[in-house]
Amino acid sequence: MCYTISSMRQGDTHIEHGARTDVAMATMVAHELKSPLALIRHLSQEIQHDLTHSPDQISLIHEQITLTSERLLRLVQNITTAETLNQELFQLEPINPLAVCEDVLHEIQPLYRAQGRDIIVKKRRKIPLILANRDLLHRVVSHFADNALKYTPKGSTVYIGLQQQANKRVRIAVRDFGPGVDAHVVRSVQEGRCIKFIPRRPDSNGLGLYIAGQFADCMDAQLGVSTHRDGASFYIDSMESNQLSLI
């Protein structure tokens, strides 16, 4: 079952359709939460029952539990925010996209390093301010970075790239090195459609992308994905701010 983002947002009043949508969403959420919860449970049991671990090993497992819980909380926070999304609560303002990317980097780098990967921010030239909501943009980039971690081999570096586009837009892209994505996924993301299943990335059910799409719509931004021979780039194109031209 697959619903367009717009049909879900317009508040379809048809009860049966609404109920089906709720069930589909609940299933997607449950699917997404299961694996990290199973990991937290398993690691906790390991600490509790295995008395042969050294203090260093216990400390490492504690760190893994903490980082997995934080990742889970970010996801839950995004789901609850998406559920109560109201444009009036999320005012757009001129913000520095580089600062947002650096915030995300600061937040997610410990998780990357603990898993033997790295993430860096790359920008080519001076990047203009954009018109966006800092909190929502942070969540979108954070989702991309979290997703890239899952699909990037150990020892690799994920890039958060910033680039000024020709159409008065600024692109923030997160480049991963996992399996590429198929053409129909690229089209679905660009058309704002919900994806139930991503071939070659079967652990992704598209929930994160769907939520990121809602956040992007709220900021009049567009999500997209481009595929490479050795991975994919998920990006958000935001409007440039006219603030500086008014001075």
Partner 1 sequence: MKKVIIIDDDAWMRESVARYLTTHADLQCIEASNCIDALDILNEQQHVPDCILLDIFLPGYNAFTFINELRSHHDFASIPIILWTSHVEGIKDVSLGAYGIVSVINKTTMTNTTVYQAICEAIHNESN
Provide the binding-site residues for partner 1, judged by CB under 8 A.
31, 34-35, 37-39, 41-43, 45-46, 49-50, 52, 57, 61, 64, 68, 115-116, 150-151, 153-154, 178-179, 200-203
Show the tokens assigned to 124.
Answer: 């080519």
Q: Compute how many other C-beta atoms are within 10 angstroms of the C-beta atom of residue 227.
A: 15
176 contacts 195 by C-beta, under 8 angstroms? no
As measured in angstroms, the least distance from the Cβ of 67 to partner 1 is 9
Q: How far is the CB of 153 from partner 1 (least distance, A)?
A: 7
Nearer of residues 115 and 163 to partner 1, judged by Cβ: 115
Please say which residue, 29 or 121, places its beta carbon nearer to partner 1.
Answer: 29
Residues 6 or more apart whose CB falls under 8 angstroms from that of 192 comprise: 4, 5, 6, 213, 217, 223
Determine the Cα–Cα distance for residues 168 and 237; give it in Å rounded to an integer. 10
Tell me if residue 194 falls in helix, strand or coil.
coil
| Residue 45 vs 165, nearer CB to partner 1 | 45
DSSP code, position 239: E
Task: Tell me the closest approach of the beta carbon of residue 213 to partner 1, in angstroms.
Answer: 22
User: Cβ of residue 10: shortest distance to partner 1, in angstroms?
Assistant: 31
Which residue, 47 or 105, has its beta carbon nearer to partner 1?
A: 47
- In the bound state with partner 1, the residue whose beta carbon lies nearer, of 143 and 201, is 201
CA distance 173 to 223: 10
Q: How far is CA 199 from the centre of its chain?
A: 18
Distance CA 207, CA 195 (A): 8
Q: Which is nearer to partner 1, 192 or 206 (CB)?
A: 206
Strands 222-228 and 93-95: what pairing?
Answer: unpaired
Which residues pair with residue 110 across a beta bridge?
Answer: none
**From the CB of 64, what's the least distance to partner 1, in Å?**
5
Residue 104 C-beta-side C-alpha neighbours within 13 Å: 30
Provide the minimum distance between the beta carbon of 41 and partner 1 in the complex, in angstroms, as a whole number. 7
